[in-house]
A and B are shown apart, each in its own frame.
Chain A
Amino acid sequence: MSGGQAAMIKVQREAFDPSALLRAFTEDCGHENGAIVSFTGLVRGQAKEKQTKEGLILSQSKDEAGLLDDVTTLELDHYPQFTEKMIESFAQEARRLWPVSHVLIVHRYGRMAPGEAIVFVATAGAHRQEAFEAASYLMDRLKTDAPFWKKEKTATGEAWIEPTQKDYAAREEWRTTKE
């Protein structure tokens, strides 16, 4: 992260250390900012859904919790170059919508275990509101618009996971209120 780049995007197979990323990001931002926000997304340990004879169980319905399987691995497919290009466009959009001076997005692909960090987003601005909102916006865009495809593996099988209605609603909210 040198040369004063305003947006840095990394799509990588390797695991990363979120605290090391935040430390480097903070150093890179220098003294011009009053606010840095970071978000780390982890691979969840519980499957998002399960197909049973009775129907589909979704993790969002709390009363059915406990019936879902433990995730053994999460595998992410991506589209080299295009994935980076799309994420770059989200970062540019965030910088157009909020006065954030620095943006860092690190996203993994390949095979991951529950508890591992899968995504890291950091933003820096003069004040906290723009940093919070830009980070939140970036995560919502990543959830529904970033070219990744997730396959969840459990002891009983595997399933491709798609965004939830809640994810799409969060993305749509920005479209109507901010973009």
Chain B
Amino acid sequence: MARLLFLGKFADMAGAREQQRALPERLACVKDLVALLAQEQPALGVALQHPSTNYVVNQEICRPDAPIKDADEIAFLPPMSGG
């Protein structure tokens, strides 16, 4: 099972901050997972595909073509804003 995390406004859009799910084998990289999520929730998909979104796999910032596997923690980060 992969652990998907939707941070900030993405949690509101996804309807949950966290999702445990088995990743279908055809999903090779982050981009594939985003495409699957976009099919399920188009508005969320548009937001996740926006260039301002950061992808974090197992606590490392990744490019959309970063490989993913079923035990990963995959987080979607909208623009960050501390301070």
List chain A positions with a Cβ less than 8 A from chain B: 41, 77, 79, 81-82, 85, 107, 118-119, 139, 142-151, 160-163, 167
Interface contact tally, CB-CB below 8 A: 61
Residues of chain A with a CB closer than 8 A to B48's CB: none
Of B9, B80, B82, chain A has the most CB atoms within 10 Å of the CB of B82
Residues of chain A with a CB closer than 8 A to B56's CB: 79, 82
- Asked if B64 is at the interface (CB within 8 A of a chain A CB), the reply is no
Contact between B8 and A149, CB atoms less than 8 A apart? yes
Main secondary structure, interface of A, reads: mixed
User: Known interface pairs A79-B56, A79-B75, A81-B59. Does A119 touch B82 (Cβ–Cβ under 8 Å)?
Assistant: yes
* Distance to closest chain B CB from A40 (angstroms): 11
Please name 16 pairs of A and B residues whose Cβ atoms are closer than 8 Å in the assembled complex, sorted by A.
A82-B56, A82-B59, A82-B75, A119-B82, A119-B83, A143-B83, A146-B81, A147-B82, A148-B82, A149-B80, A149-B81, A160-B9, A160-B12, A160-B78, A162-B78, A162-B79
Contact between B78 and A146, CB atoms less than 8 A apart? no
Contact between B59 and A41, CB atoms less than 8 A apart? no
Instruction: Tell me which of A79, A81, A146, A149 contacts B9 (CB under 8 A).
Output: A149
- Give Cα A144–Cα B79 distance, bound, in whole angstroms: 8
- Give Cα A145–Cα B83 distance, bound, in whole angstroms: 10
- Give Cα A16–Cα B39 distance, bound, in whole angstroms: 44
Contact between A149 and B78, CB atoms less than 8 A apart? yes
Contact between A144 and B59, CB atoms less than 8 A apart? no
Contact between A142 and B5, CB atoms less than 8 A apart? no
- Asked if B11 is at the interface (CB within 8 A of a chain A CB), the reply is yes
Residues of chain B with a CB closer than 8 A to A82's CB: 56, 59, 75
Q: Please report which residues of chain B, range 38-73, place their CB below 8 angstroms from some CB of chain A when the two chains form the complex.
A: 56, 59
Residues of chain A with a CB closer than 8 A to B30's CB: none
User: Known interface pairs A77-B7, A85-B59, A160-B8. Does A146 touch B83 (Cβ–Cβ under 8 Å)?
Assistant: yes
Contact between B7 and A150, CB atoms less than 8 A apart? no
